[in-house]
Amino acid sequence: MSKQTLSFQAEVAQLLHLVTHSLYSNQEIFLRELISNASDACDKLRFEALNNNALYEDAPNLEVRVSFDKDARTLTIQDNGIGMSAQEAIDHLGTIAKSGTKDFMGKLTGDQKQDAQLIGQFGVGFYSGFIVADKITVESRRAGLKADEGVRWVSGGAGDFEVETITRPARGTSVILHLRDDADEYLSAWKLKSVIGKYSDHISLPILMEKEEWKDGELINPGDENGGRQPGGMVKTGEWETVNKASALWTRPKKDITEEQYAEFYKTISHDHEAPLTWAHNRVEGNTEYTQLLYIPAKAPFDLWNRDKKAGVKLYVKRVFIMDDAEALMPSYLRFVKGVIDSADLPLNVSRELLQESRDVRAIREGSTKRVLSMLEDLAKHDKHEATAGDDGVTDVVDADDKAKEGKYTAFYAEFGAVLKEGLGEDFGNRERLAKLLRFASTASDSVSVGFADYKARMKEGQEAIYYITADSLAAAKNSPQLEVFKKKGIEVLLMTDRVDEWALNYLHDFDGTPLQSVAKGAVDLGKLQDEAEKKAAEEAAEAFKPVLAKLKEALKDKAEDVRVTTRLVDSPACLVVQDDGMSTQLARMLKQAGQ
Ligand code: ADP
Ligand code: MG
């Protein structure tokens, strides 16, 4: 292919403008993005080579080399991964395949720090090179293609790019950044090493840089004032050294990993800029053996509600990346979990489709689900940690570890509680454990902190059901006339205001043997909570109002199934309820909104 000039897809051009203009204060992330692309490319090669060993050609050691040329003012990131064909370079570096890009544009806030975080989440990583470069040259050859089927791609980051065929014996990709005038600092080994250390220590691939050593300036005129020497400087030695730790973090023993390293690794795999809320790192032994390192984020991502989104749990087999398929490794209601699972048992060279159906993968998914639930149970248990006087009358010393967990469950629940509830309908096996993890506001607590167990512990003598009401908002729930009799009798009612509550509660009929009852459904039988006099008065009223009811029923015959005398109201004259087995008004409204 002779040289041709092509235009960027409109979105790319727009994106480039944003990237170069809004991410200026967080320049250094470009290196993280380019190294992560190099690492992805090596993962892809490893995966393809499982079925075609010849792809390794004569370079089986996968690596990334970072080098710079002060005179030419270039910085080069080179990998020997899968590489790109000419068409792939055009497709992958000229268009944005991902549907999320429009969202991305909309999410940019103008706050540079926040926007920089979004870049990673959306995978517009390559273009971040233009933050520091006014021209980028990419030279690549795809593994398996001939040396003369290489490609050169060049762009100044404005409207278009050039591509041409080149001869490139080395497999893989070189990204050559022609640095802007004000990006001088990246022409320093020290600076580059420090950025690599910050972002890429946990990349399992070695990142190499050429060693430099100090060389005195040459002696030319011994007589003059500086001893006749020219100034000395660092010179390249031709020897390359690994500058990152290059060990897959999850394979190291727990005791050798610091909290900071765990947090940094989380940031690398999640593209989150905040530290995680908590994590679990375990070797699971038994029929299926694997290592799991699972994180719970502190903050929900912007696309939490997109159920198609790629999940954050990656599957490795003996450190070879296999897939990051959501459903196979984590149920959808735990889609916020990030992490790595590395199995020694799975066959390496099977298709993704087969893997998803494998018994071992199912076992891993079940084991990981249980692990996440126990992490949450542990947080819930320590959410309100108070030093309590034990049987011996001595106040417990609050364990520092436990203390650190205080308030974390509340924080977790505020971000992810609504997603967790989806589990009631999705994961029958764990329904009871999930039910214990749910929290609601109630007529006794404005904060979303009441669990079913707390509620049960406070139930009135003779109360036989857990009462709840669903509504659009806390205010609507609290002021519902359906609560009148409960207020009067001092019976606590759970107030459910998440959109998913109604649907989720369909799957939960009781908690620990106590039935759940919506106060908006049916006749609300307060059973033993009513005294004899009240029952008698109700019966008499029902009798006395019979003729009125008959008239009302006739008048409302197309609109209401039934009209009856109720004991649930105290101040209001009438209210609407649905039948016991009926769809609640809330759910009906939701379905209507959804166009059903
Ligand atoms: P993402 O990495 O999220 O896919 P990027 O903008 O970082 O998005 O990269 C776009 C695409 O360009 C990648 O998906 C990949 O196909 C291709 N690409 C980028 N860098 C390399 C590389 N070093 N080797 C091979 N392909 C690459
Ligand atoms: Mg990328």
CA distance 57 to 143: 8
Q: How far, in Å, is the centroid of ligand 2 from the Cα of 295?
A: 21
Q: What is the CA radius of gyration of the chain?
A: 32
* Cβ-contact 519, 569 below 8 angstroms: no
Q: How far, in Å, is the centroid of ligand 2 from the Cα of 39?
A: 9
Q: How far, in Å, is the centroid of ligand 1 from the Cα of 31?
A: 13
**CB-CB neighbours of 300 under 10 Å:** 15
Q: How far, in Å, is the centroid of ligand 2 from the Cα of 220?
A: 50
Per-residue CA distances from 101 to 20, 21, 121, 125 (Å): 16, 17, 10, 12
Q: How confident is residue 123, by pLDDT bands cut at 50, 70 and 90?
A: low
Provide the pLDDT for residue 558: 79
Q: Whose CA is nearest to atom 18 of ligand 1?
A: 37
- Strand ranges, E, within 131-195: 133-141, 150-155, 160-166, 172-179
CA distance 281 to 483: 46
Q: How far, in Å, is the centroid of ligand 2 from the Cα of 84?
A: 14
Which atom of ligand 1 is nearest the CA belonging to 88?
16
CA distance 593 to 596: 7
Q: Whose CA is nearest to atom 15 of ligand 1?
A: 92
Which of the listed residues 64, 87, 121, 126 should we mutate to test ligand 1's pocket, taking the one with most ligand atoms within 8 A of CB? 126
Query: For residue 423, what are its two tokens?
Result: 């589990």
Cβ < 6 A, ligand 1 pocket: 33, 37-38, 40-41, 79, 81-84, 92-93, 123-126, 173
**122 annotated among ligand-binding-site residues:** yes
The mean pLDDT value for 458-466 works out to: 91
Max mean pLDDT range (140-144, 473-477, 478-482, 526-530): 140-144
The mean pLDDT value for 122-138 works out to: 86
**In this structure, which ligand is nearest to the CA of 93?**
1
pLDDT of residue 461 exceeding 90: no
pLDDT of residue 148 exceeding 70: yes
- Give percent of the chain above pLDDT 90: 45
- Give percent of the chain above pLDDT 70: 83
Provide the pLDDT for residue 7: 92
**100 annotated among ligand-binding-site residues:** yes
**171 annotated among ligand-binding-site residues:** no
Tens digit of pLDDT for each residue in 466-511? 999 999 899 999 988 888 888 888 999 999 999 899 899 989 999 9
pLDDT of residue 517 exceeding 80: yes
- Cα-Cα-Cα-Cα dihedral of 351, 352, 356, 362, to 10°? 90
CA distance 409 to 415: 10
**In this structure, which ligand is nearest to the CA of 129?**
1
**79 annotated among ligand-binding-site residues:** yes
Query: Among the listed ranges 385-389, 438-442, 563-567, 568-572, which one has the minimum average pLDDT value?
Result: 385-389
Closest CA relative to residue 338, chosen from 389, 280, 291: 280
**580 annotated among ligand-binding-site residues:** no
Tens digit of pLDDT for each residue in 16-33? 887 777 666 678 879 988
Closest CA relative to residue 469, chosen from 505, 523, 520: 520
Q: How confident is residue 242, by pLDDT bands cut at 50, 70 and 90?
A: very high
Mean of per-residue pLDDT scores for the chain: 84
Longest dimension (CA), the chain: 125
- Residue 281's Cβ-side half-sphere holds a number of Cα atoms within 13 Å equal to 18
**524 annotated among ligand-binding-site residues:** no
The mean pLDDT value for 353-360 works out to: 77
**ipTM surpasses cut 0.90:** yes
Q: Whose CA is nearest to atom 8 of ligand 1?
A: 123
